[in-house]
Amino acid sequence: MAGAFGIDRRSLIAGAGALGAAAAARVARAQEKPVIDERTVLIVVDVQNDFCPGGSLAVPGGDEVVPAINALAKRFSHVVMTQDWHPAGHSSFATSHAGKRPFETVAMPYGQQVLWPDHCVQGTKGAEFRADLAVPQAQAVIRKGYRREVDSYSGFVEADRTTPTGLTGYLRERGILRVVIAGLATDFCVNWTAQDAVRAGFDCYVVEDACRAIDLEGSLAKAWAEMAENDVVRVRSSELPG
C-alpha cells in the first residue's frame, strides 16, 4: 500500500533488500584474496628516485616499498611497471605557473590540478627507477605524463579521463583478469590506477604494506574510502599466495 507521500511499502522493502545485498557483496569482496596465476599481473607504480627520500617529490618512507616489492614480485610471472615521464616545464609543475607554489591548485581544462615540484623530468636521475628495485621479469613499462598539458596519475587513463595509456589493451591481449598493485603513492597514482583497473573490468587488489602515501590534507583516508567504494580490495603481502 502507498503511504501519504505515494511511496509503496513493498518498493521500500525491496529497495532496502537490494541495498543490504549490495553492502553484503561489498563486505565479501573486501575479504577476497587474489589468485596469482598466468592471468594475474603485478603493477609496480612509479618507484622512482624523485618519489623516494632525497627526491624532489619524496613520499615519506617511499624507499621502504622496495624490499617489499622485490619479494612480492618473485611470486608473479607477469609484471608491468609505470613510470612518471614529464617533459621540462610540464603544466602540473608549480614553476610553470607564475606566483604559484607547490601543492596549490589551478584550474585546468580537465578540472582542478594540484601543482607539484618539478619531478620525474625525462632523462634525469630523478625519473629513473630506484637502483635497488629488482624486478628483472618486468615485461612492459608504461610511461605517463609525457603530454605537456595533461597530468597523469593513473597507469590506465590520463588526468583528462579520456586519453588512454594503452595498458588496458595490453593486459586484455595478454589474457589478464586480475591486477595486483604496489608502489607510490597510495593516495595518488596507486589510487587512480586501482580505480581505473576496476573500471576497465579487472579484479583489483592493492598491497597496503608495499605502498606509501603523501597524505596531503587527509588524502590517504579519502583514497582508501574511494577504492573500497569502487570494489578495490585492500590486502597485505602476507595474505597473498606464496
State the SS3 of 179-242.
EEEEEECHHHHHHHHHHHHHHCCCEEEEEEEEEECCCCCCHHHHHHHHHHHCCCEEECHHHCCC
Question: Collapsing DSSP states into helix, strand and coil, what is residue 142?
Answer: strand
The answer to whether residue 52 is catalytic is: no
Q: From the candidates 52, 120, 144, 187, give the one annotated as an active-site residue.
A: 144
Among 193, 198, 171, smallest CA distance to 182 is for 193
Q: From the candidates 46, 63, 151, 187, give the one annotated as an active-site residue.
A: 46
The answer to whether residue 189 is catalytic is: yes
In whole angstroms, what is the distance from residue 218 CA to residue 220 CA?
A: 6
In whole angstroms, what is the distance from residue 208 CA to residue 191 CA?
A: 11
**Which residue(s) pair with 41 in the sheet?**
179
The answer to whether residue 144 is catalytic is: yes
Q: From the candidates 189, 196, 203, 204, give the one annotated as an active-site residue.
A: 189
- Specify whether the CB–CB gap between 188 and 196 falls below 8 A: no
Q: Report the catalytic residues.
A: 46, 144, 189
